[in-house]
Chain A
Amino acid sequence: MTLLIAILAYNEEDTIATTIADVITHVRDSKIVVIDDGSKDSTRTIVEGLPAEVISLPFNCGIGIALKTALLFGIENNFDSILTMDGDGQHLASEIGRLLDQTQEKNIVIGVRNYNDYKFSFVRKLAHLILVRILTIRSSILITDPTSGFRIFSRHAATKVVNEIDSEYLEDTVGILRRLNGLQISVSQVTVRMKPRQGGIPSSRGIQLAKRYILALIMIVIGRKP
């Protein structure tokens, strides 16, 4: 089975080298590609000096487009599975094997964090609980961490979802889950260990984050057309 590991990064100069080193240590026989979402710092330059390929978007398009680019690259180069993870050091390469064990021909496996071990702000925890509940009602899918970007797409699943992704925040995670029923793709979850962000600045905080969660809720309730 050929595996592509796509690391999505935006301004991750502090953590990208460690993330790649972690992947190299724990996963053999895979290709590593970093999708640089128009970083303004030296992320790209750092990756160019490491044993990983870099695909640079000319400007910041949003994580949805970065994911879409990763999936397109994987499909075009005939990879059997495409694993996506963040470049901020949250996702541990040592857990990739557990996701691979669950991978089947037509599915997506999501690495979910254990809420008891992971420190969340109250607002974020509440928002997650509401998202999970509404997502379960609207799409009959129970994923306890629907915003997790630590996932493996089978080639079949990647081909089906690649045209469903938009640039809006959480379209790449919650948005995909909302539409899985119609695409006839199964999804499963594996509880994994995750670290807090190891460096850099989150793409949204405070009011911006609240606004984005509200949009995600609207997205789940009304659904969005491809």
Chain B
Amino acid sequence: MEIKYYLLSLILVLEIILLIDFRRRRITGEYLIAASVLSFIAVFFTIKINLLETIAHNLGFIIPSNLILFTLAALGLLLTYRLNKQIKTIQDKLNILAQTVALNETKNIDDK
């Protein structure tokens, strides 16, 4: 099987994971959109191989080390994914805290 089919399968799996996590409120909507757009760009470049070569050539890159690039991109994605999950958890806690503070403040004013 050609490498592009592996990549396409990988991206499809990634999209499904992102949608499940969004549904379970583990990631933010912003991240879902950003990761999806990047995935579609990746699919586009995967299918249109000549386009990537042309752009790389015009920018002055000679034979990019695809494996390193791919590994770094995957690691970057994994890192941002984990960070976004943590951000979402903290954001949810912070929102609950903010609303509790606001309601308590009102209660205290009423008590006085």
Contacts and interface: CB of A to CB of B under 8 A. Distances in A.
B23 A68 contact: no
Given A168-B29, A214-B33, A72 B99 contact: yes
Contacts of B22: 218, 222, 224
A65 B103 contact: no
B29 A215 contact: yes
B86 to A, nearest CB: 16
A76 B104 CA distance: 11
A211 B25 CA distance: 17
B23 A224 contact: yes
Interface string B24-59: 110011101100000000000000000000000000
Contacts of A72: 99, 103
Contacts of B98: 38, 57-59, 61, 65
Interface residues of A, number: 30
Contacts, number: 65
Nearest to A64: B95
A51 interface: no
Contacts of B24: 224-225
B23 A225 contact: yes
B19 interface: yes
Interface centre among A59, A167, A169, A219 (most CB of B within 10 A): A167
B106 interface: yes
A61 B99 contact: yes
A73 B32 contact: no
Contacts of B102: 35, 55-58, 69
Contacts of B7: none
29 contacts: A35-B102, A55-B102, A55-B103, A55-B105, A56-B102, A56-B105, A57-B98, A57-B99, A58-B101, A58-B102, A59-B98, A61-B94, A61-B95, A61-B98, A61-B99, A65-B99, A69-B102, A72-B99, A72-B103, A73-B106, A166-B92, A168-B28, A218-B22, A219-B29, A222-B22, A224-B23, A224-B25, A225-B23, A225-B25
